[in-house]
Amino acid sequence: MLFRNKKIFILLTVFAIIFCVSALGSVSAASPPYANFNSNVTSGSGPLSVQFNETTVGNVSTWTWNFGDNKTSTLKNPTHTYLRGGEYNVTLSVSNEAGIDSTTKFNYITVMKIDL
């Protein structure tokens, strides 16, 4: 063995570990989130109120929703009302200290016009 004195060996090992950790700075075990969502309805007659539910895997610190009708939200689980008939893409972008992810569901919401 290189060191005959176990106490010196242990002391030097601990010092080396502390030095390496302090040189690296703070270490984060966080992983980037994986964006996902669902809603209580995906079609209906307008005006259509939709409750969106974020089902992202991982910790999230910010949410950005785009409802496809030039309206957005930064709430975790927003309710949005669609006023006009049509098909709408919905995008959820999420982030945390480890990264950003987003998902878009194309033609996810269908609002049928009521002819009067």
Domains and CATH numbers, the chain: 37-112 (2.60.40.10)
User: Which residues, at least 6 apart from 84, have a Cβ–Cβ distance to it below 8 Å?
Assistant: 46, 69, 111, 113
Q: What is the pLDDT of residues 48-78, one digit of tens each?
A: 999 999 999 999 999 999 999 999 999 999 9
pLDDT of residue 26: 47
From CA 32, how far away is CA 10, in angstroms rounded? 36
Supply angle C-alpha 42, 99, 25, rounded to 5: 155
Mean pLDDT value of segment 70-98: 98
Partner residues linked to 81 by β-bridges:
49
**Distance (Å, whole) CA 79 – CA 104:** 17
pLDDT, average across residues 81-93: 98
| Residue 86 to residue 70: CA distance in whole angstroms | 13
